[in-house]
Chain A
């Protein structure tokens, strides 16, 4: 406290002195002109007295006048040009020529096993700087990527503490199997982007086309994401601390009908299904009429429970702290960062904590001869949750069931389904996840132009989980001493105390040897070549053990459990790949660029003869703007490059199946009597089919594009069109159930994806107001070309030749009367079954066993392709502004067009015969109690249980436009003037406020966020306050 007061005093003193100084100093009048590299005047250039906000802007002729304190420095700046500092000294007239800033073009982009200047790129690479991701303030790096890059689709369905993105897709999908991109961090393959701290990211490159990605050969078909982390530089040591506090608030939660309507609608449903049994089958007229009244005096028999209010907090707090130290000299450069995140959930008992440490060290052992690096990163995450995930039941349980009896005891809920009681008392599930990654490399340059690099990178991944499920029960309403029953939820009865523990231990080692040669000859010829070898070895072992019927609940250890009920299991897997690869790049005079890559990969996943694959690519670039005939356009067209690439990529990832070519005997257990005892014996059976000649799938990709900058590099445009064709797709083919085997993986089918990516950027300065706008838009369509002749139908999804990948598949609703309005319509149409009647969804009879409509709606003949499941026109963008010490940024993201589907969670009343009724139904469903007019405009079918299989069958009845726009983030920051903070030794002090996922616009039903999952944790708005201090 004392020190704080001391600093405050000094701060105040400094401020006073500063003001005094600015008044007292003598002024010189200064005038001059600012011109560009060709001597042409630069209108609108800023001329500022350095360290102040005093300044002016040049006129049309490039001239300015300014009063300058004696001995001050002036800074002249213009967008697209390098800033220039000038000490006028005694001069009063200055002629200033600014040098163009080619940073944008000289910007280095990380590509596979190397880097290249952006202007020399021939492949399609999208890149984003770490700071643009950090601004989103997400706990997981994967979520920060959403909307950041053209052609990169990031989806999620919840904002649970610590959760990352659900999936990442680069240029759509390339295969029916795994379309997850390969993730490379500092040159080494890792399994999750979220093992990297966003604050440690220097840049992320996404290799989108074959030319860029084929250096990763067999693993690159779905694109490659390259993460480069920050390293130390030869600068003074600095330390940076950032701390932020905030809260998470759900963006949306579905509402349910009020209590009385619930009772009425429940009765109406039963009446619809069985009219002869009368109207008040479930709740009597008295109950319907007086429940709310009776609740006042007898809340135990007439509960009204607001489950959401009871179980959820208004917000979830979170905090993050980060410290980083960096600096170095000629021989050692280092950067160390340590971060801690602590995110609570919207309900008690759940919390995510994470530590991340990264240290990147560079050593120069013999200058220009021998360099080395040694990086270590450690991540430790702890995720504690309640055993019981509340959201599904919280949304489902109607208000008529009691969470607690009037005296506060846990009540029965719905026959033991009491989500509140379970959330409170069913025990916890804690998982610890530890990753330790290391990377050591040495680079030896025996002669000029040649370097040899050896890299070893081990990665250890260890997870453990402890689930202590506690018995939890309710006592009967009128007697606290009488056991009522065990609570249950999610299909589990919490009737005994069970402890189960799981351990997964896996590690992998990547070893690389790289040889690089770079030579420039005859001025204009620039040749570089790279050759390398890589080996990847991964091993994994799982172990789990449990004991049941614990008497004690305070000791979550296996030893404490009874020996009679102990269980354990374990298994393991192993994988190896070997790869040889090479690249040649040639650049003639910065105008003509050529690149060729090849990779030869072998994988243990395939049988001997089918193991190796070769993946070549070529690409070329023509920097048109460098041509002499383009000189005349230089004034507005700063840079233009045309690119073309072709290449082949592979995919061998088929989940955890490491031996798809072997027919395996799976071991199991069966029980037998021995005398009157029961004993367990081992069984063996081939349960899956194996395809011996299974091998790579190959994606051939063609990309045409251009990069251009205009108006002194202020406007930037990148565009790519691409076409990808995947053949020998690895997929689970459907086989008849009658074969008795699980479906095998095999090379079957082809698909193609066509699309385009567009990136636009503008940055400029108006006086001391700087701003930039960037946006990206992309689109793709994936079509199945061939699936070995037979459709692959899985529920509501079909893969059919000529149709969209993963297309929606279901019934077509009658266009004229989507809901049956009259008995006549019912009688005159084909139906799924005889129970279907007025008020139910009305389908079209498409065909029959003989190829013509057969008068019956059947799943075999009347379902059709209903449309594309994947989104179209994804976009994202950001706007950044700076003015004096203030900075602001706005990030947005969205989907232009998408066929969305109303799940049963959104619209089905009384799920499982008791579930709550979504509020959107009320007044908008077909009902015998409506007028005909009301029924004609009703959006939803009648309330019925017997017609569930008809009304909620997958059909276009439930489809709607699911595109959305989302304001991803708004951040406002203020950096205190350095003059002020340097007094106390602070180089930089910035405070900021940030809001993420603030709002979205979509046609989703009220209460449903366009991204949220039906039963998952909600999407949340984050509100944060933070400060960052640099010494």
Chain B
């Protein structure tokens, strides 16, 4: 015992001298010396590719008339018209954009360390170009969604940041162009198979075209798209495979952030669950809207209310092929079952063993089956069940078909309508039909030179081609269509018993009559509703103020009056 006591006393005496307090962080690096070596720069640049900086608009399809969520508006104030500066969807976009901007500024501010350390200029410019590309994309989104915003391109102190006012979006747009131009100049067109694929020259042109188009600068948009088109991108042969989980890098994908289950970067699980049919264990809640189904042209190139080919009792027949590749056609196989939402179809076929099982995708069986009878097909295949609900579908930000349509749209708006414009649209359309652009006998090619007609054609083409690719919201905003279509009702089927007696048993299924389509390609179901053949789901509400999102309350509060909100908030 005595020994223990003396040991303790001795230990106390030794430890009694001051223990050093300079402790280095155990699992982090210091920013004071970063950006000096190639490895450090590479890691800093890698940061720009984190999915969270890019996918904030992934749910935006559900803010549009392409989607129906049960009999209510999907959980966002956007469709209820009740957006404020405290709405998550808005300030989240703002936050994510500025986060990436600060990462890029940090690299651009400090890369001189590497230059001073003797790194060759080509490498330095490559790193800079990646930062410029990312920064330009984020400012592009900001000025499109929020209008004038603070422009920050260097590190600011807190005091400086709180002084920022809003900068004219035209001024910012010019800076966005400058960044894209620098990026396009210094980024490679492609990467070798052993190299990690970073931003490319083509992506810089394409994204530049997108923001120019969004801001109505047709000249720049057309020029940038044309530059991109020179780079040799091609369209995938089969439209339906582009979006599948198993389809990896293909030539059509210009800018993509991959996902990986083994790296725990996956598609939002709710997206997976809500998109899948109930027979396959999903919720069938993010469903394509009737508006979207009505929007596809018939194979004669005419809208459904003009085409003799359209049959409202068989709405999938004779439609543009992208219709059934986007929306599940009734009576076809989907996710291992024959899909049939009819209230009479209480049983359906399970394809694995060809047995008849209760049909969870009929509302007569399951009250939460698709309320409007439609299901999303685009991008969905049985691989979605393998690691359900984990899914490693790519997040595609830009694909070549979009570039072609942007080129066409910009040229049409410029009034520079030539063969290249028709060729761009028709290349996209022909691929949908699985034929060559020249085989006009096999698909309804777009013809004519009238600006208004072609404007309509390219807009409907965008809707058919790009549905569920997070582009519809921006299109509605920039075409000033939001205040029209986002103030319409969602239409859904009658409740199962009524649907059976009033629609199915009377031979009206699926639609009792053909909805009319207006000059904007927007369907009108009011006659159907008046006839008692459908019911209204949610009422969408879009006040004009929502053409611009509100500046986050948080930043206005800290700005000491330097930031004022957009009109109406």
Contacts and interface: CB of A to CB of B under 8 A. Distances in A.
Nearest to A743: B158
B360 A676 contact: no
Interface string B265-300: 100010001000010011101000000000000000
Contact of A564 (B8, B197, B262): B262
A533 B150 CA distance: 53
| B43, B91, B265, B498 interface centre (most CB from chain A within 10 Å) | B43
Contacts of A138: none
A665 B4 contact: no
B539 A274 contact: yes
A276 B80 CA distance: 16
Given A676-B249, A793-B554, A946-B541, A454 B358 contact: no
A279 to B, nearest CB: 11
A441 interface: yes
B264 to A, nearest CB: 6
Given A533-B16, A674-B195, A686-B31, A734 B554 contact: yes
Contact of A736 (B84, B161, B273): B161
Nearest to A286: B497
B241 interface: no
B98 A675 contact: no
Interface string A390-415: 00000000000000000000001011
A611 B21 contact: yes
Interface in B540-569: 541, 543, 552-561, 564-565, 568-569
A565 B50 contact: no
A683 B43 contact: yes
Interface string A438-476: 001110100000000011100000000000000001001
Given A276-B539, A278-B535, A365-B2, A832 B82 contact: yes
Given A738-B98, A791-B557, A666 B28 contact: yes
Interface string A657-694: 01100111111111111111111111111110110000
A89 to B, nearest CB: 48
B116 interface: no
Contacts of B262: 564-565
Contacts of A602: 18, 21
Given A665-B29, A738-B555, A578 B21 contact: yes
A281 B358 contact: no
Interface string B199-240: 000000000000000000000000000000000000000000
A576 B21 contact: yes
Nearest to B552: A737
B98 A737 contact: yes
Interface stretch (B177-185, B252-260, B430-438, B505-513): B252-260
A684 B36 CA distance: 13
A659 B30 CA distance: 10
Contacts of B71: 270, 277, 281-282
B117 interface: no
The range of chain A's interface size is: 35 or more
B242 to A, nearest CB: 14
B537 to A, nearest CB: 7
Contacts, number: 354
| A277, A374, A478 interface centre (most CB from chain B within 10 Å) | A277
A485 B282 contact: yes
Given A365-B2, A735-B161, A739-B98, A664 B43 contact: no
A740 B98 contact: yes
A535 B358 contact: no
B95 interface: yes
A574 B26 contact: yes
A849 B249 contact: no
A945 interface: yes
A690 B47 CA distance: 19
B564 A485 contact: no
Given A495-B388, A511-B15, A684 B34 contact: yes
A673 B555 CA distance: 37
A735 B260 contact: no
A869 to B, nearest CB: 19
Contacts of A549: 387
A276 B489 contact: yes
B40 A739 contact: no
B9 interface: yes
Contact of A734 (B26, B81, B541, B558): B558
A372 B1 contact: yes
Contacts of A415: 283, 285, 368
A42 B406 CA distance: 105
A791 B46 CA distance: 36
Nearest to B537: A277
A241 B269 CA distance: 54
Contacts of B38: none
A950 interface: yes
Nearest to B149: A738
26 contacts: A270-B72, A277-B539, A414-B368, A440-B8, A441-B8, A454-B11, A456-B8, A476-B360, A479-B357, A486-B281, A511-B16, A513-B13, A535-B16, A573-B26, A574-B26, A662-B30, A663-B32, A664-B31, A678-B392, A681-B196, A690-B31, A735-B558, A736-B164, A858-B553, A860-B553, A860-B557
Given A673-B197, A684-B43, 20 more contacts: A274-B536, A415-B285, A442-B8, A454-B8, A454-B9, A455-B8, A477-B365, A666-B28, A671-B265, A674-B195, A681-B42, A683-B47, A684-B34, A685-B47, A790-B558, A833-B82, A835-B541, A858-B85, A859-B553, A945-B80
